[in-house]
Amino acid sequence: MARVKRRPTKAKAKPAKQRPRTKSPSAKAKAKGKSPAKPPKRPVPRRRSAPRVVEAVPVPITDAGSSGASDHSGRRASTARERSMRSSPVVEILDDPHPIGALRRFLDSIKGSPTVQQGQIALGAAQLMLLPIARESRGGTEVKELVDMILERWTDLPEPSGFHAQEFLRNALAAVGVDRDRIAKLQAVVPYGASAELLFNLACAHAVARDKVAMLEAVETALEAGVAAAQFRRDADFAPYRADPDLALMLSRADVPVIPVEIEPAIRAVRSALDSLVGTLREYGERVELRPPARLDAILDAERAAKISLPNDFRALLTITNGMRIWDHEFFGVGDYREPTPLAVRAQAYLEMASASTAAIEDAVPVANFGQPNDWLLYDPRGNVRGDGPGYVLMQNADENPFEDLASTLTWLEQIAHETFGTN
């Protein structure tokens, strides 16, 4: 029980002589019957702070149960409502001195089956803890503890095949290292229709664990899901199998299918659309640069050198103009497929960046840059990016705009030119 402070009793001794007190401005104002003027507020200088990585940084909290309790420093402990307003549960778990223990306490506090939000918190915190391990050093006791902790509760999760679950599995497979038992347990909960990225990580995990039979099965499944053969050839996890004949045969079968040469039916439509586009751009005073045509045998030689197959209508375009610059759009020529030209280097950098989020784009063949660093016209030989069979697709950042053929693409460009310059 807290003690109540008593007011000190007045001393009977005669008080010491004090200086006469002057009336304050407010007292003078009251005496004259006027309301006192409020003193102006002093401006508080602002501090410039560095940009935050997360939405909110959690304030250290104590285990005090009541809202009025204080910690050892004398400050009042934060209530649950205040803590939830300051930071997300995932951030609090990650910022704990022992994040794995904090995640375990969070899971143990759940009575019954977790809600969708609780499941997302647990999976999100676990996969963010695994992410740096997957990048820096695989395996270890922390990975085992995290994987076992989540898998023990996997059947209770409300969305075991959703985005957060697949992201956890991706990072777990990338971080687990040489641990065939846990890889098998993780594979057992990979959902039907899993993303190509998750299936690729499963194949990588088997490769790291040197389980060739399981690796080949996982590679075949990932290829069927749209992962490009080049992605397996490039990834360091498959370096020990670069000379393996079984993997080489599987990847060669998955390479881009050969397109039979038949350009005559496409030449008229491509030439008509190109002439109309060039005439429109010259009418508006825009830049047009057409290069001398290429021979068909030179085009096919470039395809063999680059290990690609170009569609017949683009082959037809190259026999009309071997690369071109129209407006701010730059189309590939034969040399861009044979040599690391500036355009080819930019295209390769874009494909490597984009394949991190869309594995199927690895198979795509760049055709033209549409002015911006992330705006590219691609030929999708398998239709995995378009989702509607082989053909052209314009990638504008994250947007995918499919086109029926090259002639319709050139006609669309002409329409955009009319809309852009015709209103000026």
Gap between the Cα atoms of 209 and 189, Å rounded: 19
Looking at the structure, do residues 194 and 313 belong to the same domain, yes or no?
no
Is the domain of 279 the same as that of 412?
Answer: yes
Of the pLDDT bands very low, low, confident and very high (cuts 50, 70, 90), residue 42 is very low
Q: What is the mean pLDDT of residues 5-18?
A: 47
pLDDT for residue 55 is more than 80: no
Buried b (16+ CB within 10 A) or exposed e, 393-414: bbbeeeebeebebbbebbbebb
Shared domain for 162 and 227, answered yes or no, is: yes
Q: Is residue 180 part of a domain?
A: yes
Same domain membership, residue 206 and residue 112:
yes
Please compute the mean of the pLDDT values over residues 133-154 and round it to a whole number. 90
Q: Say yes or no: 320 and 229 in one domain.
A: no
- Residue with more model confidence, 32 or 198: 198
Q: Is residue 136 part of a domain?
A: yes
- Of residues 82 and 223, more confidently modeled: 223
Pick from 233, 253, 273: which residue ends a domain?
253
5 located within any domain = no
Average pLDDT over residues 122-148: 90
Q: How confident is the model at residue 360 (pLDDT cuts 50, 70, 90)?
A: confident
Q: What is the average per-residue pLDDT within 91-114?
A: 91
Segment 385-412 shows an average pLDDT of 88
pLDDT computed for residue 386 by the predictor? 82
Position 227 scores a pLDDT of 85
Q: For residue 334, is pLDDT > 60? A: yes
Please tell me whether residues 305 and 406 are part of one structural domain: yes
Q: What percent of the chain has pLDDT over 70?
A: 78
Domain with residue 331: its CATH number is 3.40.1580.10
In a domain, 63, yes or no: no
Query: Which residues, in sequence order, are CB contacts of 121 under 8 Å at separation 6+?
Result: 88, 89, 90, 93, 106
Q: What is the dihedral of CA 93, 99, 104, 106, to 10 degrees?
A: -10
* Model confidence band, residue 357 (pLDDT cutoffs 50, 70, 90): confident
Judge if 98 and 214 occupy the same domain: yes
| Residue where one domain finishes, among candidates 253, 272, 292 | 253
* pLDDT of 87 strictly over 70: no
Residue 68 lies in a domain: no
Question: What is the reported pLDDT for 424?
Answer: 60
- 289 vs 5, residue with greater confidence: 289
- Residue 231: predicted pLDDT: 86
Number of domains present in the structure of the chain:
2
Task: Mark residue 83 as left, alpha or beta (left: phi above 0; alpha: psi -120 to 50; beta: remaining).
Answer: alpha
Same domain, 275 and 138: no
Model's pTM, two decimal places? 0.53
pLDDT of res. 52: 41
Predicted confidence band at 409 (pLDDT cuts at 50, 70, 90)? Answer: very high
Flag whether 10 is in a domain.
no
* Position 110 pLDDT exceeds 60: yes
pLDDT of residue 363: 79
pLDDT tens column, 187-243 = 999 999 899 899 999 999 999 999 999 999 999 999 888 788 888 988 999 999 989
In a domain, 34, yes or no: no
User: Average pLDDT, stretch 375-402?
Assistant: 86
pLDDT in tens, 163-189: 999 999 999 999 999 999 999 999 999
Which range marks the domain in which residue 190 is found? 80-253
- Please provide the average confidence, as pLDDT, over all residues in the chain: 81
Domain boundary (253, 281, 308) is at 253
Q: Residue 353: inside a domain, yes or no?
A: yes
Query: Is residue 3 predicted with pLDDT exceeding 80?
Result: no
User: Which of 370, 360, 368, 364 lies closest to 396 in space, CA to CA?
Assistant: 370
User: What are the Cα distances from residue 321, in Å, to 189, 281, 291, 296, 411?
Assistant: 53, 17, 5, 12, 17
The arithmetic mean of pLDDT across residues 89-95, rounded, is 90
CA angle centred on 343, ends 339 and 347, rounded to 5°: 95
**Cα–Cα distance, 274 to 406 (Å, whole number):** 10
Looking at the fold, whether 243 and 106 belong to one and the same domain comes out as yes
Asked if 223 and 287 sit in the same domain, the reply is: no
Residues 162, 96 share a domain? yes
Q: Are residues 213 and 342 in the same domain?
A: no
Share of the chain above pLDDT 90, in %: 53
